[in-house]
Amino acid sequence: MIRGIRYTDEFKQEAVNQVANYGYSEIDVSGRLGISTKSLYDWIMKFK
């Protein structure tokens, strides 16, 4: 079974901040950080 990469809460929070505070799109942030947009959307809901 393949396991996913674990990201720290600090990494997740910074990714969310780039969307929420700096106005970058979810697609831009996920592409730059090499994460799925699904993960980013999940993190946004978690840290809201």
* Dmax (CA) of the chain: 37
Residue 2 within any structural domain of the chain: no
12 in any annotated domain: no
Taking 3-state DSSP, the helix, strand and coil percentages for the chain, each rounded to the nearest 5, stand at 65, 0, 35
- The whole domain housing 28 covers 22-48
Predicted TM-score (pTM) of the model is 0.86
Count the domains in the chain. 1
Evaluate whether residue 39 is within a structural domain.
yes
Rounded distance, CA 37 to CA 5, Å? 15
Dihedral angle of Cα 15, 19, 24, 29, to the nearest 10 degrees? 30
Q: What is the mean pLDDT of residues 28-41?
A: 97
3 occurs within a structural domain: no
- Token pair 């947009």 is found at 37
Residue 34 lies in a domain: yes
| pLDDT attached to residue 27 | 97
